[in-house]
Structure 1
């Protein structure tokens, strides 16, 4: 018998607005009740932080208020459970009901975006319960995971709600204001947190707390706006029997289409397609592979002059990029355009180069891959020049590929896991990268390319190809040299401790955000992106980056990042419509010239004509912007004709654009998450704190490339950890140039070893670099460029460390080369006077280029400097030396390098709390190892044959002193 149904009686009915009000009231009650109870019962305890208490800090943070103290934590949890539905009756909670009603309000047939937004709302609710009920005291890692997941999911929820808003002008206005206020608050929030955590500024945490509470208010208020929309619903409870007849048809929001007059709304208001999304991801991954290969070329080329100590001949491979000159031949051009899949698959050979152990063969495989990639992308832009939407997609994929490369390097601490210098032993993901690249090429080359009459009819005469080529060369160099790693420009403005500007993590995410903002600007306002006004703004940013340090210089860097990314859209679009052999072939040749130019300014002592451009990074920046200016001029002269000739495909263009922006948004969220996870903890512990012993070492790391062309930071980390080094001076450590891959080994070492880091003079200071790693806080550090009238610049760091409560000065120094004796004499006098200027306990970790007891050695070790040699009897030295004064030295050892670099490791042990004996015969008295307490000894691991090629050598054992 079929079931019987009846309508039943209405037991209860109420407006949907009550869901919004219930959610708002109960959520605010949860936080405010906890704040009131906490201030009344535990005020002094909840305003106390790790550095300061009342009166320096006088307002509690959210986490301190709702944390572990009873009963305020209970007040918060009771009301937040009602709000978020963390009880078994989750669908009866205001939060879940709010998300459900919003979905019912915005759902439309054949549209996925409302489902995605609702999913984000559900995910936010669950993660809210996570960071609420798992406090940082309970489990710090999971608390952070839930919290960052909640914040990341807030962005798509907010933007999705704004995009899906019904035709209610008041509600839309409030959502924009509150959403903007929420994300705008994140900037000062992060700033004052860094002031508190990094700079330890009194009162900064109180200001941070106000912004943290503001986030709560804005977040809840944003969802409260649904009260203006939910009056369309009436919720009815009926007394009925029987099963539901099924889900009613969802009512489409007919009014929403009126919002499509706004361009941004048109982009995201299209029917979602997984197929189009996969196409966009594949294109962007192809762009990522291009940038991965291009950025690796400099590294594998650099290996050869590095080990030959001069021009090797293999440097000619930098010209691999000029392959687009082949497009001047009509037959070649036709074949390349017709066979993009073949060409792109061939280009993936570079991803397999890691399987080749011979460095020369590996170099040629990468060179072939770069050459083929440059040819393929140039042909793709050229062939799509007549189809506006397709060309925009290709440009977007290429630029977002650069941003993806920066995000990946941000995640892997400036290394790219698919570079040919990576493999499984040093963190490489080469195999996975290759498989994904093959799939991406097969997916993105499904569409038949433009050929025949359609290709011939495309406009090819507008404007000057020569000017476009200059613009392309300057643009590509600017993108590669400054934006292929998120920390490059940060290190340009770095000047040491105390920190007065950005640091690589978390502020690398700021660089990536500026890159994304620039691309969006270029896509949505191409006319402004190619304007002289915007070019002038970009030039101002370049000037600030070049001339200033700290935050002022970094603001210029962010401005320049926005400009370069935005200008890429009109400049490449303009170049694509001209003769490709000129615009891209000559463009890459100009790019190569700029690459050599920016190497010559620091390598002037080793290259022909080097002294002419010595130390002129300002000339490099000026040339870059002038070249881009040529491209702007050419783009403006041809833009009007090109617009008339191209078919109007704006609607289709915007539809395709949305999927690239979805991926861009995902990459931005990923960079924020990485920045959060990489934020320094500053809770570092020395190896022998109970004995108040610290171990200091010096090592010339040869730009983090080992004898076999593998990136060596993993091997370096292992030996530094096993030697239990608390303070490490690194030389030849500045890798922030194209030829070195725009890397920073110190980031990886500092984070993996748990150490403070001073990068030393930045890449715009024209040195080969010196850096300092320390388990102890760096109170102050200054950077020095020592007199070098003829040879290469000699960098030095003078840092003051807080070692077990005592201030100790540490000097890290790299002297000039043997060929320049006058340089070395002047540098010796400068550094000796610098060391002599301090009466504090001091250590020199150095590369001096002198023999013991001869020449400049007697100035370094003298009354002028006040320094003593760590072991005056060590006759077998030429480069590395450790000197000290006013410290009790207890041990000294030399450890072989294995195949990591060309220089050994030297280490010394020092005792805090004991004074050195002024008498040389007593001070240098040696004792046997058996008479030394275990906590003061060097590790036994390196005795005999040692481990992985590292062992004590020269003396075959460490030396200990009384």
Structure 2
């Protein structure tokens, strides 16, 4: 028997052409929006925000590297384009020679015109570019007219939409060009991009046409007679090839060879590739849909707790978590049957996408309502998928979490699709468009797609339902709390030294990627590894160091915990799926999400107990919350495997096999995610931390203290970038931030230091982590942090108070800097004990000391109030003891020369002002002499003009609430910074 000859499918060639076309335009759009957004949306009429979506020409032709990437991909696409033209010509020529010649001629001219307007951009030659573009569109008339006869009904809808789209596109172009209406060009751009997409999809119709005819192109492995070019031999799979006009004799191979070639070409069914483009698109769309689900699930607590943290109490919006109980609707048989259909799942996905589109709404309540609706839909869809019993759906759910975590890592700790981000993030429209493409892919998926999973068989009602339901709820919360952001486990282990949250977070993603191979092991490799008790012991025992240890030992244990939790996830979902088919999906998935709700609140009460009646029971008991999760997970493991001759899971059917392409697609996706996460430090290295040049010249540094209220501004939006702008505008060198521990579900597992550290160049200490039960404190410094120690201040009556004690190398001088958040007004004993602890730390330091903290006291309040304790026992000076209008934020110092002090209004970012002090550092080896440390020398007040310009604060922040300032920030209370002369002879 002759050896099998490798072949090239004509349909595969068409798919390659479509993929390259889509990749060229989508990559250009993504790169242009990421690198030159404001420039590409600006036109001769208006710019951002009136114009906010770029035209095709601006995207592909104006800037590097998007222009080069686009042109490269289009050039690569020319080969498949001309090959398809020749292939279509040979197919159509026997029956319709005139039409075949017309298609070949117009197709070739159309392709050359496309190359013309691609490589001669509007920036190179505006008129030439427009003429070639117009030629391309005009050539589409004969191209599509002739193509309708060749492709049949498949091409008609695409052609119709293409020509109908020209009408609104021309209208908006006239509005822009003639009437100069701001925003019209953005609407024109939408139709222009739609025209491009419709054009590509129309050219993709040969995929189905070539698949129907079973056309194959033999490659060079087949030895043909000399000078005889390879023939394209059509063969219909349903019947033999009908006789056609005979080709010229010199071009025909000998009959035996031709017969051999036809015989070795497999039929369409036999040659269906296991990893086809269609299967890959289906896999990508399913994973993206799971990412949408995780986006909504993680957005729900972060959105609703805006109200709770501003009121510091339960206010009723917490009932929004009940949206996750939508699987209870499956108790209605009609709904349970409906949700298993493709249209129902697509409808739920569409609702989720619409909910995420609520980021444009200014009202926090409106955004919360939209997120509730989206969560209701996605939880119902997830219940339908899990009820169907597909192993593939369980895998995709966990892969969606990996995509969500990677997206957060790439986007500085925020999910770019969250409604708490505003339109300035520029990511929503692109990601929602990708969601629409994923939805379209799911709706158009043929029944033959390997990812169209059949329903699993029913399970006898003897199967238990409560334990799998409880385990699923514990799993959902564990994945949400500890694995939804790769930096969370770093924060749990952070002790001021290592590991680093911005550098080592990708290791969490690497550990979590064990899910892919584990899911493959679940369906292929005995024994059933994800159900083995050894995996449970790994998960449970590795959770102990997360609470009891710190540093690298805790983080390594956290990596093992992440790997185990991700590995067992599909198995636990499979258990719950079997229980749902046996005893009812409503009760199983309803109870699971009820467990998630309980754990969300209980996990929050470990630190927020002071504001909830009865919540003191959970005070600082994260260990018990973790232990409860482990106990709920335990029954899902096959404990009978530890006993000889005893079968395990007698009533649990085996997990159904994964579709054939799933293994390769899963491993490829995980490899891409890991490559993306590890490339972040290389692709976006932070600038080297250094103070402003004027500060270094005069040995000055500016330090600020700011209570940032969990990174949510007055409008319920993430405030990282607004904080960055103010810190940059005031040229701060050292910043203490309070209320920053957001590594818990109710705050979105966010890191408030990422943006400032990366864009402004700061060394960072994120302070005690979530397992330390504080509201959080963080230190950012443009000076090296030599040593950092975390303290939990005495708190017998109230919340634990965090403190960071760090030694900074400031122009060669060691300066002890302390950032602390003390107790509330309701706990006077706590405040007294905490003040004494801080005074001891400050008094013991042999270096100059700077204190930046939240201290609930009035200036000059006597003992037991903290003010006198800290200033007297700690041997500290108030930055300005004559400022009596303070309550919670204070700056104290010793061994430094204070030269300026300012209070800056909060704007819309938080509920507390930013206080800033400017200090001069004595030269290395010098100290502030006692004669310079008197009250008289320290209060040599001065006007700004009396000081050197290096000491001046930025002038743009002069103003008031009605005019002046920047983004609502201005010097208030004194309406100007206060300046102080250096004592005569100060050695700086």
Note whether the superposition's TM-score is higher than 0.5: yes
Whether the aligned pair in 2 keeps the contact of 1:463 and 1:634 (CA below 8 Å) is no
Shift of the 884–635 alpha-carbon distance from structure 1 to 2, 3 Å rule, reads farther
Give the counterpart of 2:771 among 764, 769, 774. Answer: 764
Q: Which runs of 5+ in 2 are unaligned?
A: 20-64, 70-225, 234-271, 449-453, 642-646, 982-988
Shift of the 326–631 alpha-carbon distance from structure 1 to 2, 3 Å rule, reads farther
> 1:753-794, CA deviations, whole angstroms, 9 ceiling, x for partnerless residues?
100000011111000000000000000010111111111111
Paired with 1:445 and 1:719, the residues of 2 have a C-alpha distance of 47
Paired with 1:402 and 1:693, the residues of 2 have a C-alpha distance of 46
Paired with 1:635 and 1:466, the residues of 2 have a C-alpha distance of 19
Residue 745 of structure 1 aligns to a residue whose secondary structure is coil
> 1:47-91, CA deviations, whole angstroms, 9 ceiling, x for partnerless residues?
xxxxxxxxxxxxxxxxxxxxxxxxxxxxxxxxxxxxxxxxxxxxx
Map of 2:831 onto structure 1: 824
Whether the aligned pair in 2 keeps the contact of 1:605 and 1:611 (CA below 8 Å) is yes
Map of 1:611 onto structure 2: 616
Whether the aligned pair in 1 keeps the contact of 2:512 and 2:566 (CA below 8 Å) is yes
Map of 1:815 onto structure 2: 822
Give the counterpart of 1:298 among 287, 301, 306. Answer: 301
Match status 1:405 vs 2:404: yes
Shift of the 359–449 alpha-carbon distance from structure 1 to 2, 3 Å rule, reads farther
Residue 698 of structure 2 aligns to a residue whose secondary structure is coil
Match status 1:437 vs 2:435: yes
CA drift of 1:357 comes to: 1.0
Shift of the 523–681 alpha-carbon distance from structure 1 to 2, 3 Å rule, reads farther
Give the counterpart of 1:922 among 937, 941, 955. Answer: 937
Residue 281 of structure 1 aligns to a residue whose secondary structure is helix
Whether the aligned pair in 1 keeps the contact of 2:957 and 2:969 (CA below 8 Å) is yes
Give the counterpart of 2:319 among 307, 316, 329. Answer: 316
Residue 611 of structure 2 aligns to a residue whose secondary structure is coil
Whether the aligned pair in 2 keeps the contact of 1:941 and 1:947 (CA below 8 Å) is yes
Paired with 1:248 and 1:504, the residues of 2 have a C-alpha distance of 58
> 1:662-716, CA deviations, whole angstroms, 9 ceiling, x for partnerless residues?
2222222222222433555655344521111100000000011000011111110
CA drift of 1:638 comes to: 7.6
Map of 1:530 onto structure 2: 531
Paired with 1:307 and 1:470, the residues of 2 have a C-alpha distance of 32
Match status 1:660 vs 2:666: yes
Map of 1:422 onto structure 2: 421
CA drift of 1:429 comes to: 1.3
Map of 1:76 onto structure 2: none
Q: What is the number of equivalent residue pairs in this alignment?
A: 706
Residue 699 of structure 1 aligns to a residue whose secondary structure is strand
Equivalences for 1:587-736 in 2 at 5 Å? 587-632=592-637, 639=649, 641-643=651-653, 650=657, 653-678=659-684, 682-687=688-693, 688-736=695-743
Give the counterpart of 2:365 among 344, 360, 368. Answer: 360
Match status 1:459 vs 2:465: no
Paired with 1:350 and 1:462, the residues of 2 have a C-alpha distance of 40
Paired with 1:291 and 1:635, the residues of 2 have a C-alpha distance of 34
Whether the aligned pair in 2 keeps the contact of 1:896 and 1:952 (CA below 8 Å) is yes
Q: Which runs of 5+ in 1 are unaligned?
A: 1-104, 120-144, 150-241, 250-268, 386-390
Whether the aligned pair in 2 keeps the contact of 1:403 and 1:515 (CA below 8 Å) is yes
Map of 1:934 onto structure 2: 949
Map of 1:893 onto structure 2: 902
CA drift of 1:326 comes to: 1.4
Give the counterpart of 2:504 among 485, 490, 507. Answer: 507
Map of 2:62 onto structure 1: none
* Comparing 840-849 and 630-639, the one that deviates more: 630-639
Equivalences for 1:845-856 in 2 at 5 Å? 845-855=852-862, 856=865
Residue 505 of structure 1 aligns to a residue whose secondary structure is coil
Whether the aligned pair in 1 keeps the contact of 2:857 and 2:887 (CA below 8 Å) is yes
> 1:455-505, CA deviations, whole angstroms, 9 ceiling, x for partnerless residues?
695225363110100110111111000000000001111101xx3x32123
> 1:290-333, CA deviations, whole angstroms, 9 ceiling, x for partnerless residues?
00111111111110011122111111112211111111221221
Paired with 1:710 and 1:408, the residues of 2 have a C-alpha distance of 18
Map of 1:549 onto structure 2: 550
Paired with 2:638 and 2:461, the residues of 1 have a C-alpha distance of 15
> 1:360-382, CA deviations, whole angstroms, 9 ceiling, x for partnerless residues?
11111101111211111111121
Paired with 2:228 and 2:542, the residues of 1 have a C-alpha distance of 64
Paired with 1:606 and 1:769, the residues of 2 have a C-alpha distance of 17
Whether the aligned pair in 1 keeps the contact of 2:806 and 2:818 (CA below 8 Å) is yes
Whether the aligned pair in 2 keeps the contact of 1:523 and 1:569 (CA below 8 Å) is no
Map of 2:384 onto structure 1: 379
Whether the aligned pair in 2 keeps the contact of 1:733 and 1:771 (CA below 8 Å) is yes
Shift of the 858–401 alpha-carbon distance from structure 1 to 2, 3 Å rule, reads closer
Paired with 2:727 and 2:333, the residues of 1 have a C-alpha distance of 57
TM-score scaled by length of structure 1: 0.70
Paired with 1:408 and 1:106, the residues of 2 have a C-alpha distance of 44
Residue 749 of structure 2 aligns to a residue whose secondary structure is coil
CA drift of 1:541 comes to: 1.6
Map of 2:879 onto structure 1: 870
Shift of the 460–715 alpha-carbon distance from structure 1 to 2, 3 Å rule, reads farther
Whether the aligned pair in 2 keeps the contact of 1:506 and 1:679 (CA below 8 Å) is no
> 1:398-421, CA deviations, whole angstroms, 9 ceiling, x for partnerless residues?
111100001000101111111001
Whether the aligned pair in 2 keeps the contact of 1:772 and 1:812 (CA below 8 Å) is yes
> 1:84-117, CA deviations, whole angstroms, 9 ceiling, x for partnerless residues?
xxxxxxxxxxxxxxxxxxxxx997766999x99x
Shift of the 639–108 alpha-carbon distance from structure 1 to 2, 3 Å rule, reads farther
Whether the aligned pair in 2 keeps the contact of 1:522 and 1:565 (CA below 8 Å) is no
Match status 1:518 vs 2:524: no
* Comparing 792-801 and 323-332, the one that deviates more: 323-332
> 1:227-251, CA deviations, whole angstroms, 9 ceiling, x for partnerless residues?
xxxxxxxxxxxxxxx98967999xx
Paired with 2:444 and 2:386, the residues of 1 have a C-alpha distance of 17
Equivalences for 1:7-156 in 2 at 5 Å? none
Whether the aligned pair in 2 keeps the contact of 1:801 and 1:807 (CA below 8 Å) is yes
Map of 1:477 onto structure 2: 477
Map of 2:87 onto structure 1: none
TM-score scaled by length of structure 2: 0.68
Map of 2:329 onto structure 1: 326
> 1:860-888, CA deviations, whole angstroms, 9 ceiling, x for partnerless residues?
45342110000111111001010001101
Whether the aligned pair in 1 keeps the contact of 2:483 and 2:562 (CA below 8 Å) is yes
Paired with 1:461 and 1:736, the residues of 2 have a C-alpha distance of 41
Paired with 2:688 and 2:610, the residues of 1 have a C-alpha distance of 39
RMSD: 3.2
Residue 946 of structure 1 aligns to a residue whose secondary structure is coil
Q: Which has the larger radius of gyration?
A: 2
Relative contact order: is structure 1 or structure 2 higher (C-alpha 8 Å, sep ≥ 6)?
1
Shift of the 848–640 alpha-carbon distance from structure 1 to 2, 3 Å rule, reads same
Map of 1:742 onto structure 2: 749
Map of 2:495 onto structure 1: 495
Whether the aligned pair in 2 keeps the contact of 1:571 and 1:635 (CA below 8 Å) is no
Paired with 1:860 and 1:733, the residues of 2 have a C-alpha distance of 26
Whether the aligned pair in 1 keeps the contact of 2:860 and 2:868 (CA below 8 Å) is no
Paired with 1:747 and 1:507, the residues of 2 have a C-alpha distance of 13
Give the counterpart of 1:902 among 906, 911, 926. Answer: 911
Give the counterpart of 1:282 among 263, 266, 285. Answer: 285
Paired with 2:738 and 2:549, the residues of 1 have a C-alpha distance of 25
Residue 874 of structure 1 aligns to a residue whose secondary structure is coil
Whether the aligned pair in 1 keeps the contact of 2:905 and 2:914 (CA below 8 Å) is yes
